[in-house]
Structures are given as structure tokens and as C-alpha cells.
Amino acid sequence: MLRLDEFESAFRSADKDQFRLARPDVKRILVVSDLEGEEQARYLAAVQEFLGVLAPPEWLVLTGAEYTRVDELLEKEEAAAPDLIVAYRNLKSQAWRWPFSLGSFLNVLTQKAETPVLVVPNPHEFPDLAWKGSDTDSVMVVADHLTGDDTLVNWGVRLTRNSGTLYLTHIEDDQTFERYIRTIGKIPNLDTEVAREEILEQLLKEPLDFIDTCRKGIAEGDFGFQVESIVQTGHRVSDYQALTEKYEVDVLIFRSQDDDQVAMHGTAYPLAVELRNLPLLLI
């Protein structure tokens, strides 16, 4: 007969987050740049080619001559009311020569605007616009807490092409985990190795269970692409970068906003700064 604590544990284990399919409608896209003339035309064409998976939207363009201050950019973005913003690092700055920041315009835009921002490689830094040829048939959603984040997954569904692959990726922070295990190791009546094994197993089981519900929900939509799960430990930008290279990812999707703080969420800032030649969708 189950004891009360065993029953509670079994009940909670069975209580799993269920994915709800709701692909976002993308009818208006605001493209922000600091370009003019022919350079602007090439850049816009590259963005349109890259986002070819979307039904033809209304394209709104904000060129370098149309804003000079951050508050102007925010006002024009709010007035445009886009469903998606496209921009790049170090707008109106030569700081793209030094890969250490997003620049003031993009930094504020990603945190202030309620609209997702697609960050593409800076056309001054990567003038060949090679990313435009990516056909978004390899899309990766990544989080350190993927379970229950329907919004991230639904954007992945929205951008993955027919016959492509959507990688749903959970990376458990190994540094935090090891700190807890070291603390457990200081408690005499707790078996550290048993705790390590069982806690890690449960931490990884939860996102795997959620991804399974994602796979089933997405299958009902009959979108014609595969869903693969990647669940592992890690924390460094190099861990994320290795995955994008291994799976030849065309766009990486992750959280940048956090309800509990003004600054960027978790590893979002180092990812946004360092993965400079890969399109990133910041939610």
C-alpha cells in the first residue's frame, strides 16, 4: 500500500505539462536597418528570401534616415504594430567591428518591444548576406526550462519548412546542478550518488515528456516536418554553438525577456552577442 508521500510523488509525476499548438500569425514584418539605397534593397531582399516560409506578409521598412535615437525607434515600432521585427546588432554604430555587444538600439528593442525580434547577421560585418540562402529546414528551439513554454515551440513550428526538422532542445544547467549535489553531499544521512542519479533523471525526464506532447500536437497539424528532441546538461555558449553546428541550424530560437528582471534572460545575452553569423529569434 502506498504511503501518502509516495502517492503524492506518483500523482505529481503523472501531472505533465501538455503542449498547445497555436502557430503565430505573421502578417506584418518590420525590417529595421541603418542602410540606404541599393544596400538597403539587397538587405531587404535577403530578409524576404530567408523568411520565405511565411505566407507573403506586409513588409514595413525603417531605414537609417528614419530614426536617430532609441526612443524614436521604439515609437515607430509601436506605431507599426508588427508581428515580427527584423534587425541586426550595432545599428548606427561602428561597434560591429568589435564583437562584444548588441548596441543600444537592439539591446533596448529586444527588451522593450513585446514583439519577437529576428536578429540577423550585421550586413556590414557579413556583406555577402550568406545567411539568406538558409531555407529554415533546420530550426532549433533551445531553453534551460523548455517544459511548458508553448510560445517558443510554436514559433519553431511557424518557421520550420515542410520536410525540415524542428529540434526541441533543453539544456539543464550543469553548474547549478553540481552546486546542489555538493550541498547534498554535506548532509550525512543523504546518499549523494543516489541523489545525483535520481535528481538528474527527473530533471531530464520532464522536458522529454513535454517534448513528447509537442511531437503529438505538432503531428496533428500535419506540417510535413520532423520533430527531434535534444535533452542534455551544459551551460556554456560553446555548448549551444556546438549543437547549432552539429545540426546545421538555420535559425536558433530562445527567450530573451524575463518577467522577473529587466536584463536579458539567463544565457540569452551571451548567445545574442557571440553567435553573430547565425540568425536568432529572440522571444
Segment among 1-10, 85-94, 111-120, 208-217 with least mean pLDDT: 1-10
Query: In this predicted structure, what is the pLDDT of residue 12?
Result: 53
Query: In this predicted structure, what is the pLDDT of residue 189?
Result: 87
Over residues 78-105, the mean pLDDT reads 98
More confident of the two residues 20 and 174: 20
Q: For residues 196 and 181, is the Cβ–Cβ distance under 8 A? A: yes
4-282: CATH architecture: 3-Layer(aba) Sandwich (3.40)
* DSSP letters spanning the chain: ---HHHHHHHHHHH--------PPP--EEEEE-S--HHHHHHHHHHHHHHTTTS---EEEEE-GGG-SSHHHHHHHHHHH--SEEEE-SSTTSSGGGS-S---HHHHHHHHH-SS-EEEPPPTTTSTT-GGGG--S-EEEEEESS-TT-HHHHHHHHHHPPTT-EEEEEEEEEHHHHHHHHHHHTTSTTS-HHHHHHHHHHHHHHHHHHHHHHHHHHHHHHT-S-EEEEEEEEE-SHHHHHHHHHHTT-SEEEE---BTTBSSPPTTHHHHHHH-TTS-EEE-
Quote the CA–CA distance of 64 and 46 in Å, as a whole number.
Answer: 17
More confident of the two residues 43 and 11: 43
- Grid coordinates given for 174: 550543469
> What is the overall mean pLDDT for the chain?
93
**HEC letters along 41-79:** HHHHHHHHHHCCCCCCCEEEEECHHHCCCHHHHHHHHHH
Quote the CA–CA distance of 213 and 16 in Å, as a whole number.
Answer: 9
**pTM for this predicted structure:** 0.91
Condensed to tens digits (0 to 9), the pLDDT of residues 107-159 reads 999 999 999 999 999 999 999 999 999 989 999 999 988 999 999 999 999 99
- Grid coordinates given for 54: 511565411
Query: In this predicted structure, what is the pLDDT of residue 8?
Result: 53
Domain segments of the chain as ranges: 4-282
Segment among 4-18, 28-42, 114-128, 260-274 with least mean pLDDT: 4-18
Angle between helices 192-221 and 150-159 (to 10 degrees): 50
Which pLDDT band holds residue 195 (cuts at 50, 70, 90)? confident
Segment among 64-78, 240-254, 255-269 with least mean pLDDT: 255-269
Given a cut of 50, is residue 179 above it in pLDDT?
yes
Query: In this predicted structure, what is the pLDDT of residue 148?
Result: 96
